[in-house]
């Protein structure tokens, strides 16, 4: 059974199918069964939950999710692994297996993935979405970031990712890992690193450590973001050159839309001095700054139609 995934199981299964792991797609399989259980437990699944899994693999994690959740929608980019998973999960009638890329673009999830998720959620008003996955390293950032931008807000995300990415997600201001991603996720969610994972618990072994992380969206936090799409874009622009002075970064990003004097007025109102940098501002300050810039942009005289 795939849910007993070990190195010997994977070697035999791949040998039988005549395939090898594809490093281009970040295929590193979690082979420590105790840590698979830690990941599942971190998701706190209940019978009314709908689970999205990105990276079906052989169906090891999928099977455990299906035993606990109302429905599982899982997508796999590899045709060979998709076929293996279909064979392993044939007895689970609450699993929808998709074959393809979960991302339409780097900034957008594929609607073909979101549609069955939305359908599963719509069948019962008590259902909640959770992302639970051993995320392929090469898509972890856009999957997490873009899911928070959709109309289908996840109740919780429990995923394995590179430790470096987990450090960025949970970073605090004025640290080397603090970034636009830190701000975007923390502006909406509580975050927690559950466990650090050494390379030896995966096959093939990656060259880096990984982490199991929980990301829990908070409605009260999300409600404070008046213009989410603008805020997302704004934060990325001010962190584009994170060590530059904030004033210089804003002038560069907004040179076509706001004058230097308008930017200086915004910074003065927020008591941000000439040496302030984006990486020093906490999430609340960046939300205030974004709102002030948005207001200034929309206060400009509009050209005649």
pLDDT score of 29 more than 70: yes
Please name the helix (run of DSSP H) or strand (run of DSSP E) that holds residue 17, with its range, or none. Answer: helix 7-17
DSSP class of residue 151? S
Q: Which residues of 20-38 are buried (b: 16+ CB within 10 A; e: fewer)?
A: ebeeebbbbbbbbeebbeb
pLDDT at 27: 76
Which of 167, 157, 164, 163 is closest to 198 using CA atoms?
163
Calculate the average pLDDT of the chain.
93
The SS3 of residue 39 is helix
pLDDT at 303: 58
pLDDT at 48: 97
Q: What are the C-alpha distances in Å from 279 to residues 167, 230, 290, 294?
A: 15, 19, 15, 20
pLDDT score of 192 more than 80: yes
pLDDT score of 51 more than 50: yes
Q: Where in the chain is the domain with CATH 1.10.8.100?
A: 228-298
**Which percentage of the chain shows pLDDT scores above 70?**
96
pLDDT score of 150 more than 60: yes
pLDDT at 76: 96
Structure confidence by residue, pLDDT tens digits, 207-220:
999 999 999 999 99
pLDDT score of 153 more than 60: yes
pLDDT at 113: 97
Q: What is the mean pLDDT of residues 278-289?
A: 96
Q: Residue 121: which residues within 8 A CB-CB, separation 6 or more?
A: 50, 127, 128, 129, 152
CATH of 228-298, one of 1.10.8.100, 3.30.460.80, 1.20.1260.60, 3.40.720.10: 1.10.8.100
The answer to pTM > 0.85 is yes
Contact 132, 39 (CB under 8 A): yes
Structure confidence by residue, pLDDT tens digits, 236-273:
999 988 778 999 999 999 999 999 999 999 999 999 99
Phi, psi of 84 (to 5 degrees): -60, -45
Length reported for the chain: 305
DSSP class of residue 254? H
pLDDT at 17: 80
DSSP class of residue 71? E
pLDDT score of 85 more than 90: yes
The model's confidence at residue 1, banded by pLDDT at 50, 70 and 90, is very low
CA dihedral of residues 177, 182, 183, 184 (deg, nearest 10): 150
Beta pairing class for 29-30 and 202-203: antiparallel
Q: Which CATH architecture does the domain made up of 2-222 adopt?
A: 3-Layer(aba) Sandwich (3.40)
pLDDT at 289: 98
Q: Sign of the CA dihedral 206, 209, 212, 218? A: negative
Q: What is the mean pLDDT of residues 12-38?
A: 83
What proportions of the chain, in percent to the nearest 5, are helix, strand and coil?
Answer: 45, 20, 35
pLDDT at 5: 77
The model's confidence at residue 305, banded by pLDDT at 50, 70 and 90, is very low
pLDDT at 296: 97
**Which percentage of the chain shows pLDDT scores above 90?**
82
pLDDT score of 24 more than 90: no
Q: Residue 106: which residues within 8 A CB-CB, separation 6 or more?
A: 142
DSSP E strand stretches across the chain: 29-30, 49-54, 71-76, 95-99, 103-105, 108-109, 128-134, 156-162, 189-197, 202-203, 210-217
Q: Where in the chain is the domain with CATH 3.40.50.150?
A: 2-222
Structure confidence by residue, pLDDT tens digits, 91-123:
999 999 999 999 999 989 999 999 999 999 999
pLDDT score of 304 more than 90: no
Q: What are the C-alpha distances in Å from 185 to residues 32, 132, 165, 170?
A: 29, 17, 12, 9
Q: What is the mean pLDDT of residues 67-86?
A: 95
Q: Where are the alpha helices (DSSP H) in 50-178?
A: 60-68, 79-88, 111-122, 140-147, 163-169
């Amino acid at each position: 059974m795939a849910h007993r995934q070990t190195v010997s199981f994977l070697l035999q299964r791949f040998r039988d199918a005549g395939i090898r792991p594809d490093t281009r797609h970040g295929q590193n399989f979690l082979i420590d069964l105790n840590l698979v259980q830690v990941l599942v437990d971190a998701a706190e699944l209940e019978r009314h939950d709908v689970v999205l899994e990105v990276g079906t693999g052989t169906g090891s994690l999928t099977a455990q999710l299906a035993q606990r959740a109302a429905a599982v929608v899982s997508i796999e980019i590899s045709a060979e692994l998709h076929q293996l998973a279909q064979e392993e999960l044939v007895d689970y009638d609450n699993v929808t297996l998709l074959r393809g890329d979960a991302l339409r673009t780097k900034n957008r999830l594929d609607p073909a993935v979101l549609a069955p998720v939305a359908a599963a959620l719509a069948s019962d008003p008590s259902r909640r979405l959770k992302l639970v996955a051993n995320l392929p390293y090469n898509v972890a950032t856009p999957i997490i970031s873009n899911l928070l931008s959709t109309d289908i807000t996840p109740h919780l995300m429990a995923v394995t990712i590179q430790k470096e990415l987990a450090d960025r997600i949970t970073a605090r201001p004025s640290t080397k890992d603090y970034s636009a991603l830190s701000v975007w996720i923390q502006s909406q969610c509580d975050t927690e690193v559950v466990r650090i994972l050494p390379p030896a618990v995966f096959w093939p072994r990656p060259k880096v450590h990984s982490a199991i992380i929980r990301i829990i969206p908070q409605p009260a936090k999300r409600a404070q973001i008046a213009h989410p799409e603008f805020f997302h874009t704004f934060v990325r622009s001010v962190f584009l050159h994170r060590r530059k002075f904030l004033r210089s970064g804003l002038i560069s990003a907004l040179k076509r839309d706001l004058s230097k004097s308008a930017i200086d007025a915004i910074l003065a109102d927020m008591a941000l001095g000439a040496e302030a940098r984006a990486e020093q501002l906490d999430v609340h300050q960046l939300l205030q700054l974004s709102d002030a810039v948005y207001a200034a942009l929309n206060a400009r005289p509009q050209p005649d139609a």
